[in-house]
Amino acid sequence: MNTVLTAIADRASAMRHHPFLLWLRTAELPARDRLAAWLPTAAPFVFGFMDLNAEVLRYPEVEAAGDPRRQAINDHLAEDAVHWPWYLHDLQQLGLDAVQPLSQTLRDLWGKRTRAQRTAMYRLCQLGQQAEAPELRYALIAALEAVAHELFKTVLEVALRFEQDTGRKLLYLGPHHFEREPGHLTHQTDAADALLRDAQLDAATAAEAERIAHAVCDLIAARWQEFLANAQACTASKPTSTTVTCQS
């Protein structure tokens, strides 16, 4: 498994240079606009992620009770399944609680600007069902955690600037969430972590684990590319705005 984790670390490191992360760091826009221009379009993924962790990837309790590897994964998933309230908090803090008919909100959230978000979640559910063995599911989750760490490390810089500008704290985009996205599994014992991290995989299993991990990274890269397109479209006509309100 260590070889697979090395491949994941290399891929996550390369994604530090993704155009969306570069835009977040360098765009000549107020911090609030750099966040507000794309955050609403993350909604299908954020709430899909809740279900991915709570329903799709979670092992039945009877299985987890007899296998510390499965239990370690379940313990981690329990944490990631409850991050969505922080997302709603930040939408409010950024002034993105637009008042509009429910029918229009549904059109926005399931429209063309969120296609990559939805596709990523559907595909992650499919990969999760294929990754029944703990080592394969661990590879899937480890890839998600590694790339999420890179995203939130970059977003954190912008969120802290927003807090300095406004005095309003962000939970999902700020330190509160970042501290819970360490880039590896959380809420497990060192012994259980070692069972997964140091597992000896045969060649076929290692190849499958690496395939799943790279598929995860490809899906997230496509999400970020969609974020970039949405952000650039939203801010193109408002280069000096401090009240970007683009919706999905």
Per-residue pLDDT tens digits of the chain, which is 248 residues long: 889 999 999 999 999 999 999 999 998 999 999 999 999 999 999 999 999 999 999 999 999 999 999 999 999 898 888 899 999 999 999 999 877 899 999 999 999 999 999 999 999 999 999 999 999 999 999 999 999 999 999 999 999 999 999 999 999 999 988 877 654 555 455 666 778 888 899 999 999 999 999 999 999 999 999 999 999 999 986 544 445 567 65
Which one, of 59, 84, 63, lies nearest residue 74 by Cα?
A: 59
Could you list the residue range(s) of the whole structural domain that residue 198 is in? 2-235
Domain CATH for 71: 1.20.910.10
Residue pair 141/76 in contact (Cβ under 8 Å)? The answer is yes
- Answer yes or no: is 243 within a domain: no
pTM, full prediction: 0.91
**Residue 244: predicted pLDDT:** 52
- CB-count burial class (<10 Å; 0-12, 13-18, 19+) for 239: exposed
- Answer yes or no: is 242 within a domain: no
**Residue 243: predicted pLDDT:** 52
- Answer yes or no: is 158 within a domain: yes
**Residue 181: predicted pLDDT:** 60
- Answer yes or no: is 244 within a domain: no
- Answer yes or no: is 123 within a domain: yes
Q: What's the domain count of the chain?
A: 1
- Answer yes or no: is 75 within a domain: yes
**Residue 242: predicted pLDDT:** 45
- Answer yes or no: is 245 within a domain: no
- Answer yes or no: is 246 within a domain: no
